[in-house]
Amino acid sequence: MNKYSRILCILVLLLGTKAYPIEGANILGIFGTHSPSHVIVHMAVMKTLADRGHNITVVTQMKPKLAPHENITVILAPPTPEREQFIKEYMAEASNEKPSLWKTMAKAVIQSGIQLEGQYEFMMHPNLKKIYENPQSKFDLVFLGAMANDFQLGIAAKLRCPVIITWVGVPLPFMDSIVGNVNDPSYVPSVNVALETGKRTMGFSLRFGNLLKHSFLSTINKLLNFKMNQFYERAFGNESDSEFPTYYEMKRRVSLLFYNYHAPSEGPIRPTVPQSIEIGGIQVKEKPTPLPEELSEFLDNANDGAIFFSLGTNVDTNTIRPEIVDTLYKVFSKVPQRVVWKWENLQNKPGNSSNIYFSNWLPQDDILAHPNTRLFVTHAGKGGVAEAQFHGVPMVALPLFGDQQGNAEIMVRSGFGRWLDILTVTPEELEESILDVLHNPVYREAIGKFSSLYRDRPLTARESVVYWTEYVLRHQGAYHLQSPLIHMDFVARNNIDVYGAVLILLLATCWLLLVIFQWLFRKVFRVVRGQNYRKRVKHEKLKDN
């Protein structure tokens, strides 16, 4: 063998070992959520991997708004018409109610049965079932978008491959418990709990509320697990394979948790295990795509700057009450800035003001990246807030429901803008807030500082996704990253057996000491009595003499 062929041989060997299975892995994404904003985050993860050359298959309930990609196959498993109707009504109802987290949570609990049933239907959809029931299916990895659907982990069990869970925000107790993150309510804020501006810790009242919320969510988590187990049994209880993992075993076989959060900038720092990977801002493009021509021209010529208004993807603006639309239009048609307004029904616009551009679908991220965009009027969905933060655009928030009010509060406390109650806001209040955020430099400075922290990290969000996904592929699930905690039962993880043993030892020692003392006491007593007796005898003898 000559020198060159030897080098070639080594090269082939090196490439060969490196190539399997990292390049062109077959990856299945299961995203059964009804929320387009969740799908956006999950699809951003998938697109990152597809760009890298992996072969991605995605199953969703709704068609993702994503340009076709040669390495992504999208398979739809849509909900039944009755369920679709139900979801629509639920969203419309929610958007006209006063936002209250407790109410939203209570509702979520009451309707959790329906939610789980919907996720079960999705999993049983023939288009999805065809994939995991087919013995020819060959996947290297499954991604599961978390959404009260843990029983869908059974799909990874059927396909015999590792699974990564993706989540769209800061982990809730539902996800923390899967990987074993410390979720100590004394310093880890629960959902929608924000530190006061400039404070590093929670004061008494915040901690009090935080403990309540934390306990509530943890209890829900335990109850949900029972239900999830039932659904898992219903779906996979018939498996003939006696090795088929149980629901609780599958929960201990999760390789990683990806979550859309960046603690150093979003704060506060929370203790996490190596198995949970921050991919905060994954849906934010590192480089904006050119805008459609008409929109691009509209923004380029906005000499006084532009305002972008969107209530997100979940809410059809047609279902917002007409008074609210009037208020918004009154203000937006008056300002010198140009306004880009997300509006569904273009046949029936609120008005024809020349400074407003209506469109039913807008590339939010690219609009926020435009240098003329000065203000974002938003419903404060997690995704939109993150994009505005990334691009350093201050906000006026009009939260509607769910976690939006909490996002808005956090945003305001961070000094990135203001928030208003969309149900009661007057045109004067809205105008005042908009002008304040446009003209007072504190908002832009605060969000600019955040933006620089957000971008400064060892791996970008996209690089993290690629690195850690391939890490799982290279190390067959990378289960060595798991915290011992998730493999321990209640007694062991709380050290109850050890404390019990210590207690028994202490009790035994006490008892032993007691016995010894009693014995000694008796002995001494007897000796003393004996001496007294002898003394008395001696005394009497002396007397006799």
Ligand X SMILES: *[C@@H]1O[C@H](CO)[C@@H](O)[C@H](O)[C@H]1NC(C)=O
Q: Which residues bind ligand X (CB under 6 A)?
A: 24, 26, 51, 53, 55, 57, 69-71, 73, 235, 238, 351-352
If the CB atoms of residues 49 and 194 are measured against ligand X, the closer one turns out to be 49
Shortest distance, position 320 Cβ to ligand X, whole Å: 16
If the CB atoms of residues 26 and 37 are measured against ligand X, the closer one turns out to be 26
Asked if 24 and 54 touch (Cβ cutoff 8 Å), the reply is yes
Shortest distance, position 26 Cβ to ligand X, whole Å: 5
If the CB atoms of residues 106 and 124 are measured against ligand X, the closer one turns out to be 124
Shortest distance, position 461 Cβ to ligand X, whole Å: 18
Shortest distance, position 131 Cβ to ligand X, whole Å: 8
Shortest distance, position 469 Cβ to ligand X, whole Å: 15
Q: Which helix (H) or strand (E) holds 338?
A: strand 338-342
Shortest distance, position 130 Cβ to ligand X, whole Å: 11
If the CB atoms of residues 27 and 91 are measured against ligand X, the closer one turns out to be 27
Shortest distance, position 47 Cβ to ligand X, whole Å: 9
Please tell me the distance from the alpha carbon of residue 501 to that of residue 416, in angstroms, as a whole number: 54
Asked if 200 and 70 touch (Cβ cutoff 8 Å), the reply is no
- Contacts of the segment 216-220: beta carbons below 8 A, 24+ positions apart: 216/105, 217/172, 217/173, 217/174, 217/190, 217/191, 218/173, 218/177, 218/183, 220/109, 220/112
Residue whose C-beta lies closest to ligand X: 53
* Alpha helices by DSSP H, 475-495: 490-493
If the CB atoms of residues 54 and 370 are measured against ligand X, the closer one turns out to be 54
Q: Which one, of 149, 116, 126, 145, lies nearest residue 36 by Cα?
A: 145
Tokens of 164: 């990564």
If the CB atoms of residues 27 and 369 are measured against ligand X, the closer one turns out to be 27
44: CB partners within 8 A, 6+ apart: 282, 283
Please tell me the distance from the alpha carbon of residue 364 to that of residue 308, in angstroms, as a whole number: 8
Asked if 195 and 268 touch (Cβ cutoff 8 Å), the reply is yes
CA angle in degrees (0–180, nearest 5) for 433-439-443: 75
Distances (CA, A) of 127 to 36, 59, 78: 20, 8, 9
If the CB atoms of residues 103 and 234 are measured against ligand X, the closer one turns out to be 234
Please tell me the distance from the alpha carbon of residue 397 to that of residue 404, in angstroms, as a whole number: 9
Shortest distance, position 363 Cβ to ligand X, whole Å: 19
If the CB atoms of residues 70 and 489 are measured against ligand X, the closer one turns out to be 70
